[in-house]
Amino acid sequence: MSDELIRMTAREAVRRLKTKDISPLDLIDAAARRIEQCEGAVNALPTRCLDRARDHARALLRGERREAEGEAGWLGGLPVAIKDLTDVAGVRTTYGSPIFKDHVPTESHPVVERIERKGGIVIAKSNTPEFGSGGSTFNEVFGRTTNPWNTSLTCGGSTGGGAAALASGEVWLAHGSDHAGSLRRPATYCSVVGLRPSPGRVTRGTSNNLYAPLSVQGPMARNVPDVALFLDAMAGFCPRDPQTFDAPAQSFSGAVAAGVRPRRVAWSADFGGTAPMDNETREICAKAALRFQELGATVEEAAPDVGKIADAFMVLRAQSYVVDREEQIAKYPDMFKPDIIWNTKLGLEATPSRIGWAERERAAFYRRVAAFFDTYDLLITPGASTPAFDVTRRMPEKIDGKKVEHYLGGSLITAIPTLMGVPSLAVPCGFDQYGRPVGLQLIGKPRGEAALLAAGAAFERMTGLANLVPIDPRTGTVPPA
């Protein structure tokens, strides 16, 4: 029974919770057993809160905490993982930093409050790089998270723990956040699905960067309809986040079920040569993108002119680090990894003129993006510039034969859509010659999550790749660079 439960989709588990074929306690027990089986190999969920989860489950079984039952996104007692950047009341929350290694918040982040109100039960915190900075998930508090497809490889970052937990069957849904690809790249590396929603779609609540649209909160799952369900649980206006807005009248789950397909699709391997790309990844993704023709779409090679947006991204990201980390670094100068020091220093060294240029570049880019989506329903790129690399490394050494200079060097394929201000979805599309997962990034129109998820679900049904997870963690070797 335990194996059957962990292999269910989130939607099937919620359906069976509603009919009372199973109880939340059954799912917690099944997840706990699976975590015990897999954690030694993947280290995805280093902090568990099973007693707290069971207390929540018993409250639901008594008929309590059900005020949102019947609303879109009702989870009915389904266990979920929350990224360790995000506070859960009474549960150790470290942000991947030794500064906060013993931190236990007394209040939950607003997105956690919303998930729990919708019947989600927090069962664990998922591992993340220090303060979410990095394309590989490791920190001094909990160590490294590995990739279930090959434990010698990285699961990506920064929602790496969530992706690895999903792929290995430890949970059905995983919460995450995304700045330069932190939901999309781990999903690609672990052959699951991650959505970066539109800015304002999901509350960021306690962020000091409340007026900046770079970082967002969002859902990850094993398939697209489950991501839609989790987005329904998260989405909506929050008075603690001034960018948020109301959830749509039609649920995202309903939009997926309606099955509207894109008619005109654009494909770009590298945004006109701006984002470096592994050759085999390029070939696999190009073939996968053409499969949208089987769904009735016209597929053309095209992308909006990115201009100098890659340079602008570095400036704007660095400013977010000044907001978030300047005071902490001054207080704890020896307790931050070099990548964070470097990014914050870039922000402090930027002149007002340079920041002004970056903002103008971003605004001009968005206008070009909006015009592009007057023509195209969907833009497709690879989900990552390389397949998963050595778990002991911060970043790939090279991409297409060119040396990667810093840890963001492999993130442009996902960072550019971040500056578009539109939703983007990572979906599996195959495997490379060494068995490493490869994925597509599907980029939708402004606030176009409904159509984007429907397109992703149609592609997923055609490939059947969602049926491959969960898997038992597998050992392996690191392929040649």
Catalytic sites, residue numbers: 83, 158, 182
**Residue with structure tokens 């606030």?**
447
**Residue with structure tokens 């206006």?**
237
CA dist list (Å): 106 to 89, 91, 93, 103, 292: 5, 8, 11, 10, 48
Is residue 73 within 8 Å of residue 193, measured between CB atoms?
Answer: no
- Collect all residues with Cβ–Cβ distance below 8 Å to 440 and sequence separation of at least 6: 285, 288, 289, 380, 381, 382, 383, 426, 427, 429, 459
Question: Rg for the chain (alpha carbons), in Å?
Answer: 20
Is residue 352 within 8 Å of residue 378, measured between CB atoms?
Answer: no
